Structure 1
Amino acid sequence: MTTATLAKPQAQQPGKGSRRLSLPAVLLLVAGVLVLTSAVRLITGADGITSTGQMSTALRLAVPIGLAGLGGLWAERAGVVNIGLEGMMILGTWFGAWAGYQWGPWTGVVFGIAGGVLGGILHAVATVTFNVNHIVSGVAINILALGTTRYLSKFTFENAPQGSSKQSPPIDSLGTFDIPGLSSALNTLNGKHWFLVSDLAGLLGGLITDLSPLTVVAIALVPVTWYVLWRTAFGLRLRSCGENPVAAESLGVNVYKYKYIAVIISGGFAGLGGAFLSIVASNVYLDGQTAGRGYIGLAAMIFGNWMPGGLALGAGLFGYTDSLNLRGGTTNVHALILLLAILLVFGAAWLAWRKKYLPAVLTLAVSVLMFAWYAGTNEVPKQVVTATPYLVTLLVLALSAQSLRMPKADGQPYRKGQGK
């Protein structure tokens, strides 16, 4: 028996042995949901749920969540749990706004990344070098970032024109662009409200309307992350540190170095997400601007089973539900109650097919309650709309928890030479 086998981490693996959905299966599932959504739109008359404006807003709101999720993916693939994503995003919002106000938006983007990197370095020193509990370190960074940015705001923004202790002066825009001709054609087609065709037009139109250059960069980082982590020797070594660092060390991998690199990159992604919030999404820094998006990004990463593609889908889902709140979608959320009730019926049928009868019955019972809620009301309270992103986060994690596979050594303490 080898040393690596003896030292194999004993972390519990949720959903161990579960199969990942293939790309055709995922595409078929997405297509099915889109068809069902189109049918619900026709039944309820809530045309806004697939409008170009709704999708464009959803994309803008999904970007910071996706960037935070990518940050969590890099860290956890190297075996470091990064609860501090929220704090790193906060640092990104403040440093991005501070530098963007003085030297322009692109400089602000660079400083936002640097602010997140600073948080990543602190987390790496605590967890990798000093073996501090990863959760404790992450929570400490969140608290420290919040206090630090509030303190700095008092003597940087408070005396600036149009600024205050809780808000920065306006920052110049990075600008937006459309694809000429195609954007207007898709928007016109979306306005026809035809079954499925108009919904596809709204989805595609939202992806190419009022795009910020930083949005394009963020989207490109998803396939780049996949390629680097799964198609390069560097990525293989980094992922080995999250699966079995003792075995990686026995093969000559400098585990400390790769963990540091991963956590610093993680902080940079989170900082970029924060800079996006303060420079692109709102063009000012606001106290409490992240609003838990770091945690939602972590949820998107878990929903995506620690894979970039699944993470992107999760970020899109959470961004969409958040956009309902931003666009005043009480009627749209009411329509989505019907959609969710129908999806739960399919979920119950799938569970019954897998002979999980008790979960199937419980899922069906929840579906009946959702149908009753939809039938008994004409619209939902504004408070429910506001809470929708967080409710969806809890619901998605609860439903997907049994089919996940985290890196085997994720969150486990590591010391050089511990396998000897």
Structure 2
Amino acid sequence: MTAPTTATDVNQPSLEHAPPTGRRMSWPVLALVVAGALALVSIVRLITGADGITNVSQMSTALQLAVPIGLAGLGGLWAERAGVVNIGLEGMMIMGTWFGAWAGFQWGPWTGILVGLIGGALGGLLHAIVTVTFNVNHIVSGVAINILALGATRYLAPLAFEGHQGGSAKQSPAVESLGHFTVPGLSDALSDLNAKGWFFVSDVAGLLGGLVTNVSWLTLIAVALIPATWWILWRTAFGLRLRSCGENPVAAESLGVNVYKYKYIAVVISGALAGLGGVFLSIVANPFYLEGQVSGRGFIGLAAMIFGNWMPGGLAIGAGLFGYTDSLNLRGGSANVHALLLLGALLLLIGAIWLVIRKKYVHAAVTLVIGGLVFAWYAGTNEVPNQVVAATPYVITLVVLALSAQRLRMPKANGMPYRKGQGK
């Protein structure tokens, strides 16, 4: 059978009746939700006096921390849309950090980016060989890749970095900076507006100021990959064929789609994107490779992808949320997290009201009790322990996934074994 030539050719009855991927907000509704959330944050800032939760430097740091998480999540999205679970994102990021720094300190940061991409893609290729060709359990393969990447980089680091200035068994020499840019005039104007402390307006200025102040060129590339992924996967015949492999590979094969090829392509791209996230850590966030610098960001990226319902836009919001909570560790952590306790209490109160409107009275009561406890914690203390600050990103990850779990639907054939011709 010849391969389909248009996107609509693949979308036959066997695929078109797949269950919906969840309700999607229209852009106006999404804008209202974001504006409402920002207004709530502004109220909390005015009550608590924690101006740091929306200042320009906080938002700039949050963006920098969100990028590697978003790239890892984007890698997971490519693989899982093709039906391959990629728990190995963490290991592929580790490969990206090492290969990026190794090539970067010798031949420059742009070469480091290219080599880091290749390093992550090699991890993706290994995962594809094991899972697609040999049908090994996807979770087992991903865990093995995480362990293998960690062991391989620990072995290679002393061989590659010792003997060079600034290098050691656990750290590479410094990599030349890619450079940052700030939009002249606009950045200063937004910073001045943010410093005035006005309700909502200053908070919007802080958010926008973080997007135009000290931004890396690699950040621009990473942000551009979000709409590029959406366009490729949802607006091209290639993307439709790839997604059909994650929804119903048997039907896709019957229509002439080479399922193995598309799975391989998706998982290799997945590894390359995770590797790019690792490169960001070892060239932009820190100008050197450091053992352990990935610190679970591959797993948080996977959580951001799930929170985003396997969609690029939702993934970006999730990465931004996790990046923001992670930034609290670096800038005024205890005071800012203490202020967020009040924000959490208000959100739980709103959630309880919503549940009452939906006549879920038991759930509303439980939510209200939890909100009361959180408010009591806020009112009874002036700061939170450092351990709570450090754990905040991971707690937020669990809470957000727990609250959003009921509206999620992963690709129908995600993680399922597939053999060519099994539908005959």
Q: Shared fold by TM > 0.5?
A: yes
Of the three residues 366, 370, 380, the one matched with 1:366 is 370
1:123 aligns with 2:124: no
Q: 1:18, 1:177 → 2: CA distance?
A: 38
Q: What code does the residue aligned with 1:78 have?
A: A
**Deviation (angstroms), 1:33:** 0.4
1:398 aligns with 2:402: yes
Q: 2:142, 2:241 → 1: CA distance?
A: 24
Residue 56 of structure 2 contacts residue 191 of structure 2 at CA under 8 Å; is this kept in 1? yes
Of the three residues 383, 388, 401, the one matched with 2:387 is 383
Q: 2:361, 2:288 → 1: CA distance?
A: 51
Map of 2:55 onto structure 1: 51
User: What are the superposed Cα offsets for residues 30-82 of structure 1, whole Å, 9 maximum, x if unpaired?
Assistant: 11000000011000000000000000000000000000000000000000000
Map of 2:325 onto structure 1: 321
Residue 21 of structure 2 contacts residue 408 of structure 2 at CA under 8 Å; is this kept in 1? no
Query: Unaligned stretches of 5+ in structure 1?
Result: none
Map of 1:299 onto structure 2: 303
Q: 2:283, 2:22 → 1: CA distance?
A: 41
Of the three residues 87, 90, 93, the one matched with 1:89 is 93
Within 5 Å, give how 1:330-369 maps onto structure 2.
330-369=334-373
1:135 aligns with 2:139: yes
**Deviation (angstroms), 1:204:** 0.2
Q: 1:357, 1:138 → 2: CA distance?
A: 42
Map of 2:23 onto structure 1: 19
Q: What code does the residue aligned with 1:320 have?
A: Y
**Deviation (angstroms), 1:18:** 4.6
1:171 aligns with 2:175: yes
Map of 1:282 onto structure 2: 286
User: What are the superposed Cα offsets for residues 147-183 of structure 1, whole Å, 9 maximum, x if unpaired?
Assistant: 0000001111122211111111111000000111100
Map of 2:76 onto structure 1: 72
**Deviation (angstroms), 1:194:** 0.6
Aligned residues: 412
Percent sequence identity over matched residues?
Answer: 74
Q: 1:18, 1:167 → 2: CA distance?
A: 44
**Deviation (angstroms), 1:281:** 0.3
Q: What code does the residue aligned with 2:234 have?
A: W
Q: 2:251, 2:373 → 1: CA distance?
A: 50
Q: 1:360, 1:104 → 2: CA distance?
A: 56
**Deviation (angstroms), 1:21:** 2.5
Within 5 Å, give how 1:256-267 maps onto structure 2.
256-267=260-271
Q: What code does the residue aligned with 1:88 have?
A: M
Residue 281 of structure 2 contacts residue 294 of structure 2 at CA under 8 Å; is this kept in 1? yes
State the SS of the aligned residue for 1:325: coil
Map of 1:153 onto structure 2: 157
User: What are the superposed Cα offsets for residues 274-330 of structure 1, whole Å, 9 maximum, x if unpaired?
Assistant: 000000001011100000000000000000000000000000000000000022421
Higher mean alpha-carbon deviation, 389-398 vs 343-352, is at 343-352
Superposition TM-score, scaled by structure 2 size: 0.95
User: What are the superposed Cα offsets for residues 67-105 of structure 1, whole Å, 9 maximum, x if unpaired?
Assistant: 000000000000000000000000000000000010000
Map of 2:32 onto structure 1: 28
Map of 1:245 onto structure 2: 249
Q: 2:403, 2:362 → 1: CA distance?
A: 14
Q: 1:307, 1:90 → 2: CA distance?
A: 24
Q: 2:167, 2:372 → 1: CA distance?
A: 50
Map of 2:8 onto structure 1: none
User: What are the superposed Cα offsets for residues 320-359 of structure 1, whole Å, 9 maximum, x if unpaired?
Assistant: 0000002242101100110011011111222222233332
State the SS of the aligned residue for 1:326: coil
Q: What code does the residue aligned with 1:213 have?
A: W
Q: What code does the residue aligned with 1:387 have?
A: A
Q: What code does the residue aligned with 2:256 have?
A: G
Superposition TM-score, scaled by structure 1 size: 0.96
Higher mean alpha-carbon deviation, 24-33 vs 92-101, is at 24-33
Divergent runs of 4+, >3 A: none
State the SS of the aligned residue for 1:20: coil
1:180 aligns with 2:164: no
Q: 1:404, 1:82 → 2: CA distance?
A: 18
Q: 1:17, 1:306 → 2: CA distance?
A: 8
Q: What code does the residue aligned with 1:107 have?
A: T
Q: 2:319, 2:31 → 1: CA distance?
A: 16
Within 5 Å, give how 1:225-240 maps onto structure 2.
225-240=229-244
Q: What code does the residue aligned with 2:284 have?
A: V
Query: Unaligned stretches of 5+ in structure 2?
Result: 1-10
Of the three residues 393, 411, 416, the one matched with 2:415 is 411
1:112 aligns with 2:98: no
Residue 21 of structure 2 contacts residue 309 of structure 2 at CA under 8 Å; is this kept in 1? no
Query: How large is the Cα RMSD of the aligned pairs?
Result: 1.7
